[in-house]
Structure 1
Amino acid sequence: MASEILNSESQKTQTQETKLRKIYVKANQPVTLKFEDVVYKTKTRKGESWFNKKASSEEMILKGVSGIVLPGELLAILGPSGSGKTTFVAALGGRLRESITSGSITYNGKLFSKQVKQNMGYVPQNDVFYPHLTVSETLVFTVLLRLPNCLSKEEKVSHGEAIMEELDLTRCKDTIMGGPSLRGVSGGEWKRVSTAQELLTNPSLLLVDEPTSGLDSTTAKRLVLVLCELAQSGRTIVMTIHQPSSKLFYMSQKVLLLSDGYSLYFGKGEHVIDYFSNIGCVPPLAMNPSDFLLDLANGISSGNPNEDTGAVKQALLSAFELNLGRQLKMALQDSMVQFQETSINNRDSQWCTTWWQQFTVLLARGFKERKHESFSVLRICQILAISLVSGLLWWESRFQNMQDQVSLLFFYTQFCGFYPMAHAIFTFPRDLGMLIKERSLCMYRLSSYFMAFNIVDLPMQLSLPGTFVTITYWMGGLKVNAVIFFHTLSVALLYILVAQGLGLAIGALIYNERAAATVGSTVMTLFVHANGFYVQDMPMIFGWIKKISPSYYCFKPLLGSQFNNCDTYPRGGPSVTCSLGSHPVIKHAGLDNQGLCAVALAVMLVVYRLIAYFALKIGIKNRDLLC
């Protein structure tokens, strides 16, 4: 029946020869997937108590799962929710944070490695995308990064367009992906884009978790048909599927039925009904075979509401061990000869493209994605409103009120410190999922991403706070001199970049957004308080804070741009003046060593970004050990 359904579906599409095969890069070597007695345990948290804050226990998710999938076969993994389907596929794809407890998973007789990973595609159940990129942009940027340089840019783009057409994404190619708070493509289109990203590289082994969830029956059938065609061309396909239709069920060559982590059936899909009928489990009426299997996996073999589901599951498990377990072990042993004859294709390099190509593609993608957030109408209006209100508040300093002018310069250290840091601190925690996903696919080097990201963020980080400084400078009555103005602006812009680097470093060290925001605001508050405006006679125990405070090294040259030691200011009356050096704030901060402050800020600019880079590298490595 499976072959009849597949042949009938293929005949319908024969007039449109699959562009997938025409434009694919050369196929990698076939992969034979073998898993034997796979057991996986994970630690779960118990209820915390006053005496035991870290109480935990082990939970067994997979309990001795075995099987083999040959090139040209499609394995469908069925089972109710909580049966271990997603965990098992993650184990096959090397995506579990902890290694399997016992058993083995091999690919052409080899354990999981970078070479295996390069020849594998993995489509998760819940994928992540950049929300403001369209479907076409998402796939084009992916194909430019993931396909090798033996193809030209035009061939890569043409390849991406063929995948879009094959998965019926052409109609929504100009629709943005969207997100939780941004309307974009539908759930079904989201899933197809996720699948398309993996098909771009023509993998020999493709693992797909719930590919048909959220799809209508026609689209789901077309997607599974594409997977079948890939399998027919010599690829190994494994997919989990919750409740497929009869047509989708019979498209798969093999079926694995899981229940509470145990295998209840492994074999050809067309033999599954006969197998369960022979052990006494006959469908009560004509029904979808997948519905019948899910009932059995839930311990329901008849319509009796008082049925002992535990006893049914145990009986099915015993029948599997008795009837299929021995045959499966023999098949695994017989496959050893084939494993020795085939091997995973090794690439000469981990990366498909050069550093510069990765940098330029990431730079273009970053500008397209970030511009919607960086220069939103709300953010521009926010800056303009704060600038105008602040300028009006300091309007009186036009009458040479020195204290007001010093206060305005101090406010620069506050605004130009907190604003860029507050936006930068959320960058890595927010983008961590996407970064881990793309790095796990070896799409680009971390250094190329980091450099492109820093350049992409420059326009927003510099232009909006720079606008604030420009407006308030002329409205606040500071010195009307172009040279002095650009000196003040340059100091402020350098400080903005330092504050941004501090935010990136904190965000890379602390991936929890709320905790990172708390730490960032606390650190910046301490730095601002140490620059000498609030407290001039600081206790010695806190004196060291000033030495590492970027706010201090910014405030000092800002004062130096407006005042010098020869100036005087009124004190005690209009006719009484004092030397500027006796002003408490200026006396504490000082007007000397202006060049040293610039050097200190430049060093901090580099150091904070180096901390962010290496913290990000370590954090990603801990989450994906193979990249």
Structure 2
Amino acid sequence: MPQNCIAPKPQYSNSNHMEEPPELTQPHNPSVLATMYPITLKFKEVVYKVKLEHKGLCWGSTWTCKEKTILNGMSGVVCPGEILAMLGPSGSGKTTLLTALGGRLGGKISGEITYNNHPFSGSIKRRTGFVAQDDVLYPHLTVTETLVFTALLRLPNSLTRDEKVQHVERVIAELGLSRCRSSMIGGPMLRGISGGEKKRVSIGQEMLINPSLLLLDEPTSGLDSTTALRILSMIKRLASGGRTVITTIHQPSSRLYYMFDKVVLLSEGCPIYYGPASTALDYFSSIGFSTCVTVNPADLLLDLANGIAPDSKHATEQSESLEQERKVVRETLISAYDKNIATRLKAELCSLEVNNQTITKDACTKSHTKHEQWCTSWWHQFKVLLQRGVRERRHEAFNRLRIFQVVSVAFLGGLLWWHTPESHIQDRVALIFFFSVFWGFYPLYNAVFTFPQERRMLIKERSSGMYRLSSYFLARTIGDLPLELALPTAFVFIIYWMGGLKPDPVTFILSLLVVLYSVVVSQSLGLAFGAILMEVKQATTLASVTTFVFLIAGGYYIQQIPPFIVWLKYMSYSYYCYKLLLGVQYNDDDYYECSKGVLCKVIDFPPIKSVGLNHMWVDLSIMALMLLGYRLVAYLALRRVK
């Protein structure tokens, strides 16, 4: 049972009981980190329900929407210096409860969650570290780069870059990452550091802000027992410095189990035990669930959470009667919890004396303001995110396959249209249309992947309050421009001269600018599709349909579109790009040899006549509106991502 929490002194105290290494708790410059104030976390009768999806609609009293209870009456308290472990089978609600305690759970939640007797706020958010189960890291950055960029974004502007880098060095040394500091993180297709090292990097990202409250979701998942012990020993050491630590864990070994101070055991969203880890077996023995063999306490607790009584001979069998028996066991455990633990816990939570010290303003937050404050300026966030984005995606943008694709298509096209004579105007117009189509669609398909692939990273970093969405969006889109414009520039240089288009430097430069303009507009539409759907397959399907429509309505294949559907042509940026390229190559006074010895006006050639060579500034303006409109839609769509 929880004892009254006596909040320890802040982390800068010299009290002997603190084992936290001095390099993390007392930086060289005392202003490197905000002072770590102890946080006592209490949660009372937390209930969380979700609506089940229905084919029908829920209208007033006619239809009744069914709800599923994910958490049902969770209560407890965690004091500074303690580790609370949440145990339970898969689907029992561990991660949901952890997310709720971290202030990240939306939806219908009731009950009370307080931090030093105050509700969740921006100040608490700045002092909370949340380590998700999956290590969401950029694969092409090194360990040092990952932590340095995190420090630059999360530590306040009052510190210099050198001070932030020095703090990163201390965290790297403390977490034992010195050996892999220059190694890439890696991913599914890229060899990198080990799983245990990735987990330590994820923890290191949160330790950079010197959190008072540290939440970890399955920190030992997928790790061998030795690595898991090393990770948990590090977490134990961090807690001993006055931090409040809460972790979910699926099936810890006995060595890990006895490192926890308190345990919460969940069964289908209901608590069946809360108290010291060391007394869990005694409690269950006292209510009739004892075992005659030596067993890992965590194994016994998980069996009970699944409704399996100790020493049961039917633990692995499945039948209707056995399922009924398990239901009875769970109901017995819930009833025993209500009788033996819940009442006493409720009384203790009500009488608990907590240090009423409020979180005072620090370098990042002001507790009296309702508006979210930021550790760093918008411009600083933009610069750091731009630098990080360019460094991460330089491998992706200039990989050999993409270069080979573009260069090979350029040379093949150049050979097919090799030095096309001026009299072959049909072939020349076809080449110009090929320009508009290829660089109208290729960037779109690349851009569709942008935000869906970064969704998890965006959610993680935005949940931590690392940066403004606007700074991320502009850095992400502007940072792509040099990388995305380099290949089309090379493409135009190759195919323009091989194809024998107008050999005039001004005409060439204008043609290149029109193509690059089309690339940016196309990329904008791809970003909008990706941001709206946030699912690669759906976004790719929508992009395919759109490009097909733009292709046939682009002004080359069909010159006389029926009036009732002609509006499709004006929605196609490929149409405007095609028209602008024709306007650069030709003017109203140009002639071509339409038959032997006969000259005809270029403007009378059907594919050119259908689009015209005038009103170029209008076309440029329409494409500018598309560019801004698509990107605005993408930004607004990203704001919906929670």
Mapped contact 2:20–2:241 kept (Cα < 8 A)? no
Aligned pairs for 1:419-568 (under 5 A) are 419-568=442-591
The alpha-carbon distance between structure 1 residues 508 and 295, as it changes in their structure 2 partners (threshold 3 A), is closer
Provide the rounded CA distance (Å) in 1 between the counterparts of 2:518 and 2:272: 64
Equivalent residue in structure 2 for 1:602, among 624, 627, 632? 624
The alpha-carbon distance between structure 1 residues 559 and 22, as it changes in their structure 2 partners (threshold 3 A), is same
The alpha-carbon distance between structure 1 residues 596 and 26, as it changes in their structure 2 partners (threshold 3 A), is closer
Q: Which amino acid aligns with 1:324?
A: I
Who is 1:4 aligned against?
A: none
Q: In structure 2, the residue corresponding to 1:66 is in which secondary structure? A: strand
Matched-pair identity in %: 50
**Which has the larger share of helix?**
1
Most deviating of 601-610 and 148-157: 601-610
Most deviating of 17-26 and 429-438: 17-26
Equivalent residue in structure 1 for 2:24, among 20, 26, 30? 20
Q: Which amino acid aligns with 2:329?
A: V
Matched, 1:584 2:606: yes
1:562 positional shift: 1.8
Equivalent residue in structure 2 for 1:266, among 265, 274, 280? 274
Who is 2:154 aligned against?
A: 146
Who is 2:415 aligned against?
A: 392
1:493 positional shift: 1.3
Who is 1:338 aligned against?
A: 354
Provide the rounded CA distance (Å) in 2 between the counterparts of 1:55 and 1:177: 49
Who is 1:117 aligned against?
A: 125
Q: Which amino acid aligns with 1:60?
A: T
Who is 2:332 aligned against?
A: 315
The alpha-carbon distance between structure 1 residues 557 and 294, as it changes in their structure 2 partners (threshold 3 A), is closer
Mapped contact 1:107–1:344 kept (Cα < 8 A)? no
Matched, 1:220 2:220: no
Matched, 1:174 2:182: yes
1:246 positional shift: 2.8
The alpha-carbon distance between structure 1 residues 99 and 189, as it changes in their structure 2 partners (threshold 3 A), is farther
Q: Which amino acid aligns with 2:116?
A: N
Who is 1:611 aligned against?
A: 633
Provide the rounded CA distance (Å) in 2 between the counterparts of 1:263 and 1:608: 49
Mapped contact 2:104–2:463 kept (Cα < 8 A)? no
Mapped contact 1:122–1:207 kept (Cα < 8 A)? yes
Q: Which amino acid aligns with 2:351?
A: D
Who is 1:303 aligned against?
A: 311
1:233 positional shift: 2.4
Mapped contact 1:134–1:173 kept (Cα < 8 A)? yes
Equivalent residue in structure 1 for 2:344, among 316, 324, 327? 327
1:399 positional shift: 5.9
Mapped contact 1:75–1:237 kept (Cα < 8 A)? yes
The alpha-carbon distance between structure 1 residues 56 and 413, as it changes in their structure 2 partners (threshold 3 A), is farther
Who is 2:434 aligned against?
A: 411
Mapped contact 1:204–1:235 kept (Cα < 8 A)? yes
Mapped contact 2:81–2:243 kept (Cα < 8 A)? yes
Mapped contact 1:119–1:344 kept (Cα < 8 A)? no
The alpha-carbon distance between structure 1 residues 390 and 152, as it changes in their structure 2 partners (threshold 3 A), is same
1:119 positional shift: 1.9
Who is 1:251 aligned against?
A: 259
Who is 2:317 aligned against?
A: none
Provide the rounded CA distance (Å) in 2 between the counterparts of 1:76 and 1:581: 77
Aligned pairs for 1:95-244 (under 5 A) are 95-100=104-109, 102-244=110-252
Provide the rounded CA distance (Å) in 2 between the counterparts of 1:499 and 1:310: 58
Q: In structure 2, the residue corresponding to 1:184 is in which secondary structure? A: coil
Provide the rounded CA distance (Å) in 2 between the counterparts of 1:432 and 1:399: 50
Mapped contact 2:20–2:240 kept (Cα < 8 A)? no
Provide the rounded CA distance (Å) in 2 between the counterparts of 1:592 and 1:425: 33
1:55 positional shift: 11
Most deviating of 223-232 and 148-157: 223-232
Q: Which amino acid aligns with 1:378?
A: L
Q: In structure 2, the residue corresponding to 1:208 is in which secondary structure? A: strand
Provide the rounded CA distance (Å) in 1 between the counterparts of 2:281 and 2:465: 42
Mapped contact 2:423–2:592 kept (Cα < 8 A)? no
Who is 2:14 aligned against?
A: none
Provide the rounded CA distance (Å) in 2 between the counterparts of 1:552 and 1:372: 33
Deviations 1:164-221 (A, max 9, x none): 2222222222222222333322222222222111111111111111112233334333
Matched positions, count: 599
Deviations 1:593-616 (A, max 9, x none): 223323332333223222222222
1:540 positional shift: 1.1
Q: Provide TM-score, normalisation by structure 1.
A: 0.90
Aligned pairs for 1:274-289 (under 5 A) are 274-289=282-297
Q: Which amino acid aligns with 1:451?
A: L
Provide the rounded CA distance (Å) in 2 between the counterparts of 1:528 and 1:313: 62
Q: Which amino acid aligns with 1:124?
A: A
Who is 1:67 aligned against?
A: 76
Equivalent residue in structure 2 for 1:83, among 92, 95, 103? 92
Q: Which amino acid aligns with 1:478?
A: L
Is there any run of 5+ residues in structure 1 with no aligned partner, and where?
Answer: 1-13
Who is 1:8 aligned against?
A: none
Provide the rounded CA distance (Å) in 1 between the counterparts of 2:312 and 2:567: 77
Aligned pairs for 1:368-383 (under 5 A) are 368-383=391-406
Mapped contact 1:34–1:107 kept (Cα < 8 A)? yes
The alpha-carbon distance between structure 1 residues 87 and 459, as it changes in their structure 2 partners (threshold 3 A), is same
Question: What is the Cα-based RMSD across aligned positions, in Å?
Answer: 2.4
Q: In structure 2, the residue corresponding to 1:433 is in which secondary structure? A: helix
Equivalent residue in structure 1 for 2:44, among 36, 40, 43? 36
Provide the rounded CA distance (Å) in 2 between the counterparts of 1:607 and 1:84: 42
Q: Which amino acid aligns with 1:80?
A: P
Q: Which amino acid aligns with 1:19?
A: E
Q: Provide TM-score, normalisation by structure 2.
A: 0.88
The alpha-carbon distance between structure 1 residues 304 and 610, as it changes in their structure 2 partners (threshold 3 A), is closer
Mapped contact 1:167–1:223 kept (Cα < 8 A)? no
Q: In structure 2, the residue corresponding to 1:252 is in which secondary structure? A: coil
Q: Which amino acid aligns with 2:25?
A: R
Provide the rounded CA distance (Å) in 1 between the counterparts of 2:589 and 2:422: 19
Q: In structure 2, the residue corresponding to 1:589 is in which secondary structure? A: coil
Mapped contact 1:413–1:528 kept (Cα < 8 A)? no
Provide the rounded CA distance (Å) in 2 between the counterparts of 1:434 and 1:560: 44
Provide the rounded CA distance (Å) in 2 between the counterparts of 1:455 and 1:140: 22
Q: Which amino acid aligns with 2:26?
A: K
